[in-house]
Amino acid sequence: MDRNPRVGVIGATGYAGMELVRLLLHHPKMDLTYLAGSRERDEDFSELFVHLAHAPGTPVEAFDADQCADRCDLAFVALPSGESGRIAGQLFERGIRVVDLSGDLRLPPDIYQRWYDKVPVAAALQSAAVYGLTEFNGAKVATSKLVANPGCYATAALLATKPLESAAFVDVSSPLVIDAKSGVTGAGRSVKPHLHFAELEDDFYAYRVGSHQHTPEIEQALGHRFSVVLTTQLLPMSRGIFVSVYARLNSVPTFDDIYQRYLNTYRDAPFVHVLKPGQLPHLKAVLGSNYAHIGLSLNESSRLLQVFCAIDNLQKGAAGQALQNANRMFGFSDTEGLAATSMWM
Amino acid sequence: MDRNPRVGVIGATGYAGMELVRLLLHHPKMDLTYLAGSRERDEDFSELFVHLAHAPGTPVEAFDADQCADRCDLAFVALPSGESGRIAGQLFERGIRVVDLSGDLRLPPDIYQRWYDKVPVAAALQSAAVYGLTEFNGAKVATSKLVANPGCYATAALLATKPLESAAFVDVSSPLVIDAKSGVTGAGRSVKPHLHFAELEDDFYAYRVGSHQHTPEIEQALGHRFSVVLTTQLLPMSRGIFVSVYARLNSVPTFDDIYQRYLNTYRDAPFVHVLKPGQLPHLKAVLGSNYAHIGLSLNESSRLLQVFCAIDNLQKGAAGQALQNANRMFGFSDTEGLAATSMWM
Amino acid sequence: MDRNPRVGVIGATGYAGMELVRLLLHHPKMDLTYLAGSRERDEDFSELFVHLAHAPGTPVEAFDADQCADRCDLAFVALPSGESGRIAGQLFERGIRVVDLSGDLRLPPDIYQRWYDKVPVAAALQSAAVYGLTEFNGAKVATSKLVANPGCYATAALLATKPLESAAFVDVSSPLVIDAKSGVTGAGRSVKPHLHFAELEDDFYAYRVGSHQHTPEIEQALGHRFSVVLTTQLLPMSRGIFVSVYARLNSVPTFDDIYQRYLNTYRDAPFVHVLKPGQLPHLKAVLGSNYAHIGLSLNESSRLLQVFCAIDNLQKGAAGQALQNANRMFGFSDTEGLAATSMWM
Amino acid sequence: MDRNPRVGVIGATGYAGMELVRLLLHHPKMDLTYLAGSRERDEDFSELFVHLAHAPGTPVEAFDADQCADRCDLAFVALPSGESGRIAGQLFERGIRVVDLSGDLRLPPDIYQRWYDKVPVAAALQSAAVYGLTEFNGAKVATSKLVANPGCYATAALLATKPLESAAFVDVSSPLVIDAKSGVTGAGRSVKPHLHFAELEDDFYAYRVGSHQHTPEIEQALGHRFSVVLTTQLLPMSRGIFVSVYARLNSVPTFDDIYQRYLNTYRDAPFVHVLKPGQLPHLKAVLGSNYAHIGLSLNESSRLLQVFCAIDNLQKGAAGQALQNANRMFGFSDTEGLAATSMWM
């Protein structure tokens, strides 16, 4: 291409969509040419995004598939599950590249229906989508025109556990326990009583225990080798996912064996950082960035391996990884437009 | 007694001590007659406790064992481990009742030394102390003159797991996994770089993984029936402990069997509330109170029982339970002076 | 009365209502016998108030004026402005005592209509209500059957400025500048996009500048002696109001003159604490309590007096003051049921 | 220059220093070649900056003026006042460009001594420094080799008030009231009891009323035309400064007159955004960015103009403005390396 690819965001006023808009405004090799939301046509950019008031923003339009396909080479679809996959399908049919951030394209129809309790998209559409866990499926993503971007909890859980998928020392007869904590933006921007500031400040609680829809996504991406118990819990902060994984072992390798396995897995992954032995991740150290930090702890006497992984749910867990996949689809470096690091304080 | 018992607080300017002072100022049947801190003598009460500026506070004195024993019927000792038990011993020798909030009197000397890396108190003193987990040892506490108040993490973990101690359906060959989260006051009021507001805001991380000193305390209080893996993690809020316990089962009883076991255990415990089936605890619902909220979830396919328990680390996890124990020692109702409920918002 | 008076709360599931319920459950001399909300009939108390799950709560009913009047000696009405005053009127007509927490009974109809843009209650009803700023109108409150409880910002602003009302040294030709900051619960519990946790965390902003409806309430309660400029700003925390008042002076008295004036004004006010010279209030020191803390600073060269006042918006600024007024109406001490102090941390 | 200029940061482990390091790692036209801290020599970069663990960081060294001058074309000195100016002087003497972020070079020695109570630097050194309020002194900065970077409160206050400096309609006989609020990082990273997370969470208070050292800095930068009353208050968040300015008027111009005056002043200022009439700034909309947002409100009946200004205290209030000044000194565009916008949530 002798010009920058043109990209659009459908669902631009949700949290993942807002993050995409912000990232794309700074992307050196993509041009943001189309924004659509769920609201009425032509809302003023600077009123919707007061933190981006200086940017040369385009208005947020009511979605129109032909308009979008005409004005974009790639569209990010960041709508609620149940709606997003259908829109993604319309754009895919019109021949443009699509990255869908919802759960609609990640699971076969029968499993989707059981966990999401919504009408699935056509099986053919779903099977046309590549699961966009970039570090593991990046090559497939590069040649695909339809990507199912992973879920936020699933991304953190999978980065923590994929190196164990083929490890003989893990006891597959014991469940893989994933104690996960997420910031509030994971629940979306829709207006609900329990998301009121005064209801959430200083609270912490578990929700959807035993029924969170990222459970089958994790099991599938681990080749159904493990039974996964995922516990999702709400942190009183805006961003971030922190998972504490407990894997029971058959035999106990040395810590260094495990550590090298992780280092090898992520040798070429610019965004996945395996911390030195003795270090454990701080959630804060990845907020605002596309990085994942992983730390390991081995409890020999209990034959238990603990893996901790921290990501920003809106970056590596959503918009950042979506952009990383789009970079792959256009042949750019993974890190293009994603260089930001955490501010720490 | 034809007058209210007189009580003192040693370590009144630490977080557990401050909470004791606040509770005791409102206690209808105890008179607060003595305050000692680590600072110089006779500090002005209203300067140290600006939130209690209206109270008829006594000055905070430099500690003097004879003074204290002379002016108190009972002393709460809330000093750092390594210092607290020694002071508690001096007061116990002088014949007054003592509740020690540190870890110094909870473990036999050899285990104490291994986990705390400090010089233990004399074995005789330690074995004279009753472990003050009120709901289980309350009768012993009532006749004791020396109480080792449980640790904050240990209290939450034990309230969640004691009903399982004798359950045949729990697989004791698997470790009992306790994923615990605590507010910042658990780290004490001492001034350290990592406790700076800007360092902690919006962070979450695990610390002392595999080496937290409450691990042997929990194992001991569960009769060494389980191998405990305790993971302690910091929440970006001031108060509260939330534990998520994962117990692997041999056989799977009905949910109701387990639920009834918890209800029965806590039938007469005014502060322990087992939530209805389907409900899970909110940490916020217990902050500022002495209550513990417990919720249960059974994952049949993975043979895993999950128990969630929320407490206020400074109340049920420290000062509140200490006062509950003191109530027992004086023959008062458990709830005397401890009626406060959470403000929620 | 040879039994405790029976009281009810209308609007029990809003933030001021919830706070009243919590306070009344602990009140030694009032019995909570009636709760009404805006939702359907007979909602379960423990589901609505998970933090009060242990209390012997009555169900929350749909409001019925006859039922309420029959079962209560006094009702607190804590509904949105525009609705609350009308309900208060219905109960007042039925002969029970009423404390209305809304703005509906505080201002004459014409002024109300201009600032609230809502239909006012009948002038006769409004003029029957005593303005319940307890420290100044307590005697009238004691003999009244209808109280208009002051607004949250107005309470803080008036406690800070009433001692200046008759001071000759204040320049009444200059506006009285009140820079006010409030926690989020001041905006109520209704579900609105801008009250989402992730929208408010780490934000601070001014709103309704020049048009906040507490402005005429303050001017009226100061005898229209000053032109008031009230700036209302949102703090990223749940509770609390902090006002910084700037009063321009004609002549400069000594600091001690001013200080003594404040001490004298609040000599018999158990909840208003004038801090020692050199001390300034901490908002945190009053949260969860009915106390107001006031601090003074005199800038001689600029002829400017600064007064700082901190209150809990839901206690002294709403439910606490309402209960203080109810105590007066029943002949109880101001502090009955209101002894709680701030937890500080 | 045919290579990128080399820059160093002295005080790299304080908050302003950390922010400089983060910004410089992403700067396309400057090379970060030297880091010095207050700690011992050669501390590991990735241990000190866990959020920058991926960056090719240089070790943090003990400061050595010759080393620094040898390896840098420009040094940012971000040390505590009293120490910073002296170091800046050593580097200035060695011929490299210097931007000093402390208060040491902003005020004449006598005024400095009165407000800072510290030994001033030599008068010649101080008068050699250009006051780096870029929007107003940018041309002088461009040709200077020594810049005194403005204080955080001063920057926000001056951006809000400089357009009024020459306005005939402002009553200069009335004090200019600046009610300012700052996040916690403004107090620095040093370890102090009142900066403990649990002490600050949910607090708000005024401090140094009447004695804050940015007062004379503001008066000086406004040509001593006004008497400034600066009230500094602490917000329970990490970053950000929000000022509410109250200016008394002689005569009342139209709102549009005032608005155009602000637009004109900042016509060519890429980082200063005057909000549309009716809009007021959100502090959150500038956090993490170098932008300043300004909003205006005119109270005609009280002849009072209110100006609100929001900045990030560590960017526009410290490191960002320092970098903007360095851009000027090297002939780069103001925005080079400073394009980041707020994340909003």
**Dihedral angle, C-alpha C194, C196, C201, C206, nearest 10 °:** 20
The candidate with the shortest Cα–Cα distance to D80, out of D130, D146, D155, D11, is D11
Q: Which of B177, B246, B283 sits opposite A205 (nearest CB)?
A: B283
Report C:303-322 residues touching D (Cβ under 8 A).
Answer: 303-304, 306, 308, 310
> Which residues, including other chains, have CB under 8 Å from residue B243's CB and lie 6 or more apart?
B153, B156, B157, B160, B178, B179, B180, B181, B307, B308, B309
Q: What are phi and psi of C4, to 5 degrees?
A: -65, 140
The candidate with the shortest Cα–Cα distance to C86, out of C34, C126, C33, C59, is C126
Q: Shortest Cα distance from B298 to chain A (angstroms)? A: 8
CATH of domain C6-128: 3.40.50.720
| Interface touch D204/C179, C-beta < 8 Å | no
Q: What are the tokens at B275?
A: 């939530």
Chain D neighbors of C198, CB-CB under 8 A: 345
Q: Shortest Cα distance from C53 to chain A (angstroms)? A: 16
Which amino acid is residue B174, in one-letter code?
S
Q: Shortest Cα distance from A162 to chain B (angstroms)? A: 20
Among B50, B197, B204, B284, most D C-beta atoms within 10 A, so best to mutate, is: B197
Task: Identify the H or E element spanning A152.
Answer: helix A152-161
Could you tell me what percent of chain C has a pLDDT over 90? 92
Q: Which of D199, D204, D345 sits opposite C198 (nearest CB)?
A: D345
| Interface touch A51/D341, C-beta < 8 Å | yes
Q: Shortest Cα distance from A334 to chain D (angstroms)? A: 15
Report B:94-123 residues touching A (Cβ under 8 A).
Answer: none
Among C302, C305, C309, C313, most D C-beta atoms within 10 A, so best to mutate, is: C302
| Interface touch B198/D192, C-beta < 8 Å | no
| Interface touch A203/B174, C-beta < 8 Å | no
Which amino acid is residue D113, in one-letter code?
Q
Q: Shortest Cα distance from A319 to chain C (angstroms)? A: 17
pLDDT tens digit sequence for C138-180? 999 999 999 999 999 999 999 999 999 999 999 999 999 999 9
| Interface touch D25/A341, C-beta < 8 Å | yes
Report D:213-252 residues touching C (Cβ under 8 A).
Answer: 227, 229, 231, 233, 235-240, 242, 244, 246, 248
Chain B neighbors of A199, CB-CB under 8 A: 345
Q: What are the tokens at B32?
A: 């607060």
pLDDT of residue B59: 86
**CA separation for the pair B132, B215 (Å, rounded):** 17
Contacts across the C-D interface (CB distance below 8 Å): 131
| Interface touch D288/A291, C-beta < 8 Å | no
pLDDT of residue C39: 62
- Indicate the SS3 state at residue A6: strand
Q: Shortest Cα distance from A117 to chain D (angstroms)? A: 30
Helix C134-142 with C320-329: angle, nearest 10 deg: 40
Structure ipTM: 0.97
Question: Which chains lie within 8 Å of chain A at 3 or more CB pairs, if any?
Answer: B, C, D
User: A176-182 and A241-248 as β-strands: parallel, antiparallel, unpaired?
Assistant: antiparallel
pLDDT of residue B269: 97
Q: What are the tokens at D4?
A: 């990128």
Question: Which chains lie within 8 Å of chain B at 3 or more CB pairs, if any?
Answer: A, C, D
Could you tell me what percent of chain A has a pLDDT over 90? 92
Counts for chain A of helices (H) and strands (E), in that order: 12, 14
Which of the residues C68, C72, C152, C309 is marked catalytic?
C152
Tell me the pLDDT of chain D (345 aa) as tens digits.
Answer: 579 999 999 999 999 999 999 999 999 999 999 999 866 556 778 888 899 877 777 789 999 999 999 999 999 999 999 999 999 999 999 999 999 999 999 999 999 999 999 999 999 999 999 999 999 999 999 999 999 999 999 999 999 999 999 999 999 999 999 999 999 999 999 889 999 999 999 999 999 999 999 999 999 999 999 999 999 999 999 999 999 999 999 999 999 999 999 999 999 999 999 999 999 999 999 999 999 999 999 999 999 999 999 999 999 999 999 999 999 999 999 999 999 999 999
- Report the 3 state secondary structure along chain D: CCCCCEEEEECCCCHHHHHHHHHHHCCCCCEEEEEEECCCCCECHHHHCHHHCCCCCCCEEECCHHHHHHHCCEEEECCCCCCHHHHHHHHHHCCCEEEECCCCCCCCHHHHHHHHCCCCCCHHHHHHCEECCHHHHHHHHHCCCEEECCCHHHHHHHHHHHHHCCCCCECCCCCEEEEEEECHHHHCCCCCHHHEHHHHCCCCEEECCCCCCHHHHHHHHCCCCCCEEEEEEECCCCCCEEEEEEEEECCCCCHHHHHHHHHHHCCCCCCEEECCCCCCCEHHHCCCCCCEEEEEEEECCCCEEEEEEEECCCHHHHHHHHHHHHHHHCCCCCCCCCCCCCCCC
Chain A neighbors of C312, CB-CB under 8 A: none
Q: What are the tokens at D111?
A: 């005024």
Band of residue C247 on the pLDDT scale cut at 50, 70, 90 = very high
pLDDT < 70 stretches in chain B: 1, 38-42
User: D31-37 and D61-62 as β-strands: parallel, antiparallel, unpaired?
Assistant: parallel
Q: Shortest Cα distance from B187 to chain C (angstroms)? A: 13
pLDDT of residue A1: 58
Question: Do the Cβ atoms of A4 and A300 come closer than 8 Å?
Answer: no
Confirm whether A309 is a catalytic residue: no
**CA separation for the pair A178, A296 (Å, rounded):** 14
Q: Shortest Cα distance from A47 to chain D (angstroms)? A: 10
Instruction: Compute CA distances C158 → C216, C295, D209, whole Å.
Output: 12, 14, 21
Where do the structural domains in chain D lie, given as residue ranges? 6-128, 153-313
D6-128 and D153-313, same CATH topology: no
Show which residues of B are catalytic: 152
Largest CA distance in chain D: 62
| Interface touch C185/A198, C-beta < 8 Å | yes
pLDDT tens digit sequence for C257-285? 999 999 999 999 999 999 999 999 999 99
Among A48, A316, A343, A344, most D C-beta atoms within 10 A, so best to mutate, is: A343
A195 and chain C in contact, CB less than 8 A: yes
**DSSP string of A159-219, one letter each residue:** HHHGGGTT-TTB-TTS-EEEEEEE-GGGG-SS--GGGBHHHHTT--EEESTTT-THHHHHH
Chain A neighbors of D52, CB-CB under 8 A: 341-342
Contacts across the A-D interface (CB distance below 8 Å): 84
What residues form DSSP beta bridges with A62?
Answer: A37
pLDDT of residue A306: 98
Q: What are the tokens at C46?
A: 């423990």
Instruction: Compute CA distances D247 → C197, D169, D173, whole Å.
Output: 34, 10, 11
Instruction: Compute CA distances D138 → B90, B285, D131, D143, whole Å.
Output: 69, 55, 9, 9
HSE value, Cβ hemisphere, 13 Å, CA-based, for D323: 33
Q: What angle do CA B204, B210, B213 make, to 5 degrees?
A: 90
**CA separation for the pair D2, D5 (Å, rounded):** 9
Q: Which of D206, D239, D306 sits opposite C308 (nearest CB)?
A: D206
Nearest CA in chain B to A171: B174
CATH class for the region spanning D153-313: alpha beta
Q: What is the DSSP letter of B226?
A: S
Chain D neighbors of B197, CB-CB under 8 A: 184, 195-197, 199-201, 236, 238
Q: What are the tokens at B320?
A: 């509140």
pLDDT of residue A45: 81
| Interface touch C304/D175, C-beta < 8 Å | yes
Task: Identify the H or E element spanning A45.
Answer: helix A45-48
Question: Do the Cβ atoms of A242 and B280 come closer than 8 Å?
Answer: no
D340 and chain A in contact, CB less than 8 A: yes
**CA separation for the pair D269, D96 (Å, rounded):** 27
> Which residues, including other chains, have CB under 8 Å from residue A98's CB and lie 6 or more apart?
A74, A75, A76, A77, A88, A91, A92, A145, A146, A147
Q: Which of B184, B191, B199 sits opposite D193 (nearest CB)?
A: B191
Instruction: Compute CA distances B252 → A142, B228, B256, D103, whole Å.
Output: 46, 21, 11, 69
pLDDT tens digit sequence for C206-215? 999 999 999 9
Tell me the pLDDT of chain A (345 aa) as tens digits.
Answer: 579 999 999 999 999 999 999 999 999 999 999 999 866 556 778 788 899 877 777 789 999 999 999 999 999 999 999 999 999 999 999 999 999 999 999 999 999 999 999 999 999 999 999 999 999 999 999 999 999 999 999 999 999 999 999 999 999 999 999 999 999 999 999 889 999 999 999 999 999 999 999 999 999 999 999 999 999 999 999 999 999 999 999 999 999 999 999 999 999 999 999 999 999 999 999 999 999 999 999 999 999 999 999 999 999 999 999 999 999 999 999 999 999 999 999
| Interface touch A293/D55, C-beta < 8 Å | no
Q: What is the DSSP letter of C315?
A: I
Q: Which value, in Å, is the radius of gyration of the alpha carbons in chain B?
A: 20
| Interface touch C291/B54, C-beta < 8 Å | yes
C48 and chain B in contact, CB less than 8 A: no
pLDDT of residue A39: 62
Question: Which chains lie within 8 Å of chain C at 3 or more CB pairs, if any?
Answer: A, B, D
**CA separation for the pair C242, A23 (Å, rounded):** 38
Judged on CB neighbours under 10 Å (0-12, 13-18, 19+), B307 is buried
